[in-house]
Structure formats: C-alpha cells, structure tokens
Amino acid sequence: MASGSEGTVVTRFAPSPTGFLHIGNARTGLFSWLYARHCGGKALLRIEDTDKARSTQEAIDVILDGLAWLGLEFDGHTYYQSQFEARHAEVAHELIARGAGYRCYLTQEELAARREKARAERRPFRIDSEWRERREGDWPADEPFVVRLKAPREGETVIEDLVQGRVAVKNEELDDFVLLRSDGSPTYMLAVVVDDHDMGVTHIVRGDDHLNNAFRQLAIIRAMGWPEPHYAHVPLIHGADGAKLSKRHGALGVHDYRDMGILPEALFNYLLRLGWGHGDKEEFTHEEAIAAFTLEGVGKSPARFDMKKLLNLNGHYIRAAGDRRLAELIAPKMGPQADVDLLAQAMPVLKTRARDLNELADGAAFLFETRPLALNDQAAALLDADARALLAGISERLHAEQDWTTGGLEANLKAYAEGLGLGLGKLAQPLRAALTGQTTSPGIFDVLALLGREESLARIDAQAGPA
C-alpha cells in the first residue's frame, strides 16, 4: 500500500476513534495536512481502529465528519489499521527471523513478581527475559507467548526533531516491549511503524506526548532496515491555567465548537495560529495558510487555548460571511417557522454584533415570535404606564406613515421625539421592548423595517396603553 515516491513528502494523520475528534488532535492533523500541502506532497488519513470496543462506525463517522467540516481533504482512500493485522504479525515474525525479536514465554505472574521485586528494591523495572537469546529449538510446545523486540542496550538513540530539535535517549532506558500479544494481535507500537512504512510516510507530525514512542519505534524501523521518517513532535494545547487541556476546561471535541456556533474557517484559523506564528498576520485563507506554513514556525512550548480570542475571531468571520449562508446555518436552530429569505435580508444588521451562530440565532428570534409577544423581565419592567402611553402616541404616528423604510421611519419618530422634548432613546426603549420582547436588538428602525408595517403595528398596539 505504499503511497510515497522518491522526494515526495508524505504525511499522515492517524486518529483513534474515541467518540469525537479532539481539538488537540485536530490541530495536529491540520499541521500535518498543511505541511504536506506546502511541500506539494500527499496528506494521508489512517483511522487507528484496533480497539474494537471503541472503534464503532459512529465514532469513526464523527472523526470523518469533523475533518470534512474543517475543510481537511486527504489524499487517496482512508486507511483502517485493523485491515492490516496479518501484515503486522508478518513483520513481527520477520523480526524474529532477523534475530531482532524473540518469543517470550514469561507469564503474567512471573512479570508481576519481577515488577514487585524492582519496586521493593526501588529501581526501575526493565524486562530482562531469559527468552531473549533462545532459539526455535528451545521453544516449548503449545505454550502461550508474546513477541518482543530486542531493544538495543548500548549507546543512544538520537532524533533530530523538526520541532523539538535534537533529542536523545540512552538505549539502556529502552525495554524489550511487546510487538505481538499472546492472542497474536499486534500492539499499537508495532502497527503504527508498519503502517507508516507501508503507506510511504516520510514525515510524522504528531503531539509531543508521542516523543518517547518515537525512540522505540525507531528501534523497529532500524531492525527492519527501513528508511527512517522525519519526526515533528508538536507541543500539546493547554488551558488558560497552563494545565493540559481536559474536560474541566470545557469543550474538547471539534463538534462541540460547531454546536457552539463557531464557523469552520474561524476554528481552522484559530488552530493554525495556536502555537504557530508567521509575522504579525493573524487571518489566513486555506491557500494563504498552505503557502506560509512551515514547521520552523511551530513553537516548542505548549499553546494556551483562549476561548475569548476564538469568539472574537469567529465574530470577524461572521461579519465577513455571506448573508444567505449565515441564514441557512441558523435557520435549523430556529424551528420550522424560520424564513431563510427574511433571515438573509436581516443579516446585515444582525451579524454586526454576534460572536457565534447561536448569538446570531438569538438575535434573529424576534422576527418569528408569535403574538402575544413574551416579554423578558427587563422588557416587562420597562413597559410601565408612561412607556405604554408613549407607545400609543407612536402607534398613532406610524399608522399614518406611508414611507415604511428605515429613513422614513427615523424621520417620523425623530420629529415626534423633538415635539415631545425627548431624546430619541426615550422612544426607542419602549418600542424595542414592544417589538422584540427584549431590551437589546438591532437598530430600532431596522427592526421596524424587517418586521414590516402590519406586524410592527400589531406588536406596538398589543402593548400600548391610554395616552
């Protein structure tokens, strides 16, 4: 299944289906995707679905849907790790044949006793199996075994990481880890290496929580005589308090941010700039991001997730978005009565203050309220006897108004306010409460124009009192 060719950069994004696409994984996937695109290479997608209990089709679909929503389109077909278990086992047995792996017949009880002995002696536990140098003639018949790698024991393993720089570990710290379990199934450590090689992956961009794995994986790669990939281990995302991003910080999945009303281009741009810099530029289209992205721009320190900054950026993208698109996005949030044409017409005045689509939907809700209008507590408190008397006068003026446009309505009510010796705000406040049931809304003349003459007058009259 090799996909690379000489000189071609091939990256892969390899999420495990856990029920959602983690925001940190999404950023890693974005960086991996951007690097391949920047280099004119290939970006591949592999679903690591070997955990049968968790890897349901529903969980897989959530990941695929989240990536598509973000605009990350991968090359070729989607790989599924579970399809290659026979190949993984084949490599494990080849490592035995090469003298780089071995069958280990240590039982769980024996391992537990040795682990306990190391703990009692206050020393790190390392596998030191007497089966390491045994040959086929020494293998017992019909006894369960695992296949372990013969990890190097002298010298050090060095990685020239494209983000972290030079990182080294003494080989004596590496253990003879398991490649195949006793039931013949491959471990993650083996499967990842085999799949990356067979897919032709040249550059592995992933979270720095996998850095320790890289030293062990390199031991397999070198034992097989395979080309070594370039590694780029990206720091994790932290919360505002500096701790690793977790449930206590709030939303973790890409779908959570979509449900919160974040636009995909806003989340794409925010994740791009989270731990990656390019001068003073803050906003990037996909094409600009591809052109600018390099791994040299990725910082070595964890980035901090700032929800306020994301919302501010999202507000910018809402204001830049097409009115029809926004109307179609919020209409499903508003029930069957929502009129997409009216929403699109209202967008220029609705989208100026909204930071997310849910705010935008809330701001548009007044357009589709049925009479009698429900008033919130602030609006109800505002509509005292004096305010209702003002509404009666406003109603009389507006019933006679022939120019039902924002300009005509503004001229009429300004003149009425001046005649009463009042500021326009004194009229706008009760009018807003009567028209929307709230004390905040778009400009009052926009509200009147959007609701139309008949509906506006009906709402005002429903709240007006004796003059």
Catalytically active residues, by annotation: 247
Backbone angles phi, psi at 161, to 5 degrees: -75, 140
Rounded to whole angstroms, the Cα distance separating 365 from 386 reads 27
Q: Is 26 helix (H, G, I), strand (E, B) or coil?
A: helix
Handedness of CA 34, 38, 43, 48 (dihedral sign): negative
Integer-rounded Cα radius of gyration of the chain: 32
- Helix (H) / strand (E) element for 113: namely helix 108-120
Of the candidates 227, 166, 169, 167, which has an alpha carbon nearest to the alpha carbon of residue 193? 227
How is residue 302 annotated by DSSP? Answer: P
What phi-psi label fits residue 246: left (phi over 0), alpha (psi between -120 and 50 degrees) or beta? beta
DSSP labels, 161-198: ETTTEEEEEEGGG----EEE-TTSPBPHHHHHHHHHHH
Question: Where does 6-91 show beta strands of DSSP type E?
Answer: 10-13, 42-47, 79-80
Q: End-to-end alpha-carbon separation of the chain, Å?
A: 82
- Helix (H) / strand (E) element for 272: namely helix 264-273
Q: Which two tokens stand for residue 388?
A: 């209702």
For 22, 46, 49, 118, the CA distances from 53, given in Å and listed in that order, are 19, 18, 9, 34
Of the candidates 51, 47, 74, 43, which has an alpha carbon nearest to the alpha carbon of residue 61? 47
